[in-house]
Structure 1
Amino acid sequence: MKMPDHPIFAGIAQEEYEEMARRGCIRLADYSKEEVLLRTGDKTEEFGILLSGKIHIENIDLWGSRMILHSILPGGAFGETYAFCQAPMMVDVLAVEQSQVLWVRLTALLSPQNEREGWYHKLLRNVLILSTQKNLAWSSRVFCISAKTIRGRVMTYLSSEALRTGKRQFTIPFDRQQMADYLNVERSALSKELGKMQREGILTFRKNTFCLLKTAGEC
């Protein structure tokens, strides 16, 4: 099994990666579009690293309302907190495209027999760094939905994407309904507000590609 080029394996050699696989610490799995990887209430001993495709972390309430909490793109990780804490999942993990996931099994990884292996502490360090980076990403969403107005939520989200990409023109990982779910607003209200912002020269957009404007006509 070839080791993915991913920060979680920084400092780990191919031979060490293969040893981890032999000890049951990692496995590959493929998922079709709309397949649920983990459901609310599940307990998991594994966390996932998305190698290809796209995954959404979602919450669906008792009345069927959907909220997209996070969009995972290739290279992103998910489920590490639940795997560490062994707490029941409070979210669903859904493949929105055909996806391939590398699962890291923490119960096998943290087995006492692995503590003397050269890769053991390197991998734990990398998981800690990954978890810290994920906390920053989740904080960004909290800022988005804390805004009281739809415009405030839109501008907070799009500004964070511009900062993340280093560009004022960028493509987001959501269609319009998914963007509304992520911002926890009605789709019709979101579309109306985006139209107003475009007419006012604040931004331009085409489908899920946006450009934030300093002056009209820049993009």
Structure 2
Amino acid sequence: MISGISFFDGISKQDYERMMVCFHAMKRSYQPGETIATFGGSSQLVGIVLEGEAVVMSTHYDGRQTILEQLQTGSIFGETLSAVSAETSLIQIISHKHTTVQFIDYSHLIRRCPKACDSHSQLVSNALRLISRKAVLLSERLDILSQRTIRDKLFTYFHQLARKNHSNTFELPFSMSDLADYLSVDRSAMMRELKKIREEKLVRISKRTVTLPA
């Protein structure tokens, strides 16, 4: 299950199993719609998505919801790694598909065990690389939210996806409702704007497939 998981790059299955015992790690599975974790200011657990998909969801005081981040296989999450405060809104990790998560206490990552094994050093290196990646994703997220109009938010996000896919044609990872939550806009207003830009032939959209002009 750890094959292809960046957090465990360079670590053998034998070393992985030994470290998980040493770390008292927990592995849990969740059904779609289940809450995986809630940020509340005290959790020291880091989660690694071994399979499935989830989202980091913020629920504001008035009930509005915003998708802060999409988590896919290999993603990591945790209150200690988050740049978002849970003091002003409820932050939860919600499973979107059948999802399996490995939980490790953050203290095991930052403190060397007495054995000081090479695999532990590799794990720390992998974690730092993934945390740096999360900083890039946060910058991209802020770029979207800083746009003044729904149209600008849509095109900023579309161009980000085009760059990541190295193609002007790509699949949206969200439903339209979730896309509106991710962009932090009203769904009805977003759908009207999408209709306009399609009519203006600025973009082609078929279900979740988006094509930008060359």
Whether the aligned pair in 1 keeps the contact of 2:109 and 2:124 (CA below 8 Å) is: no
CA drift at 1:13: 2.1
Q: Which residue of 1 aligns with 2:94?
A: 94
Structure 2: stretches of 5+ with no match in the other structure? none
Q: CA 1:163–1:112 in 2, change beyond 3 Å: closer, same or farther?
A: closer
**For residues 40 and 12 of structure 1, do their structure 2 counterparts lie closer, same or farther at Cα, with a shift above 3 Å needed?**
closer
**TM-aligned CA deviation for residue 190 of structure 1:** 0.5
Comparing 45-54 and 179-188, the one that deviates more = 45-54
CA shift at 1:15, angstroms? 2.1
Q: Please say if residues 33 and 96 of structure 2, whose CA atoms lie closer than 8 Å, have aligned partners that are also in contact.
A: yes
1:71 aligns with 2:70: yes
Q: CA deviation at 1:97?
A: 1.8
Shift of 1:183: 0.6
Q: How big is each residue's C-alpha offset from its partner over 1:104-153, in whole Å with a ceiling of 9 and x where there is no partner? A: 22223445434611212111111000000111011111101111011100
Structure 1: 5+ residue stretches without partners: 215-219
In the alignment, what sits opposite 1:176? 176
Relative to structure 2, which stretch is displaced further, 119-128 or 96-105? 96-105
- What amino acid is the match of 2:150? I
Counterpart amino acid of 1:39? Answer: T
Contact 1:198 1:204 in 2 (8 A): yes
C-alpha distance in structure 1 between counterparts of 2:97 and 2:183, whole Å: 21
Which position in structure 2 is the counterpart of 1:32?
31
Aligned to 2:127: 127
Q: Give the 3-state SS of the residue equivalent to 2:103 in structure 1.
A: strand
Alignment length (residue pairs): 210
Cα distance change of structure 1 residues 25 and 164 upon mapping to structure 2, 3 Å threshold? farther
Deviation, structure 1 residue 84: 5.9
Deviation of residue 53 (structure 1)? 1.9
What's 1:139 paired with?
A: 139
Aligned to 1:217: none
* Residue pair 2:204, 2:211 contacting (<8 A) in 1 also: yes
Match of residue 80 from structure 2: 83
- Residue 201 of structure 2 corresponds to 201
* Structure 1 pair 194–38 and aligned structure 2 pair: CA distance change class (3 A): same
- In 2: Cα distance, 1:67 partner to 1:88 partner: 14
Deviations 1:5-28 (A, max 9, x none): 222222222221121022135332
Cα distance between partner residues in 1 of 2:85 and 2:151: 35
Match of 1:19 in 2: 18
The question of whether the paired residues in 2 share the 8 Å contact of 1:114 and 1:120 is answered with no
CA distance in 1, matches of 2:184, 2:17: 43
Shift of 1:4: 3.3
**TM-score normalized with structure 1 length:** 0.88
Please tell me whether the aligned partners of residues 7 and 74 of structure 2 are also in contact (alpha carbons under 8 angstroms). Answer: no
Partner of 2:49: 50
C-alpha contact 1:175 1:207 (8 A) present in aligned 2: no
SS in 2 for 1:113: coil
Does the C-alpha gap of structure 1 residues 47 and 4 become closer, same or farther in structure 2, counting only changes over 3 Å? Answer: farther
Normalised by the size of structure 2, how large is the TM-score? 0.90
Query: Cα RMSD over matched residues?
Result: 2.0
Q: Per-residue displacement from partner, 1:77-125 (whole Å, max 9, x unpaired)?
A: 212xx2369x975621111222111222222344543461121211111
CA distance in 2, matches of 1:56, 1:22: 28
Percent of counterpart pairs with the same letter?
A: 25
The SS at the match of 2:154 is helix
- Partners of 2:115 and 2:7 lie apart in 1 by 17
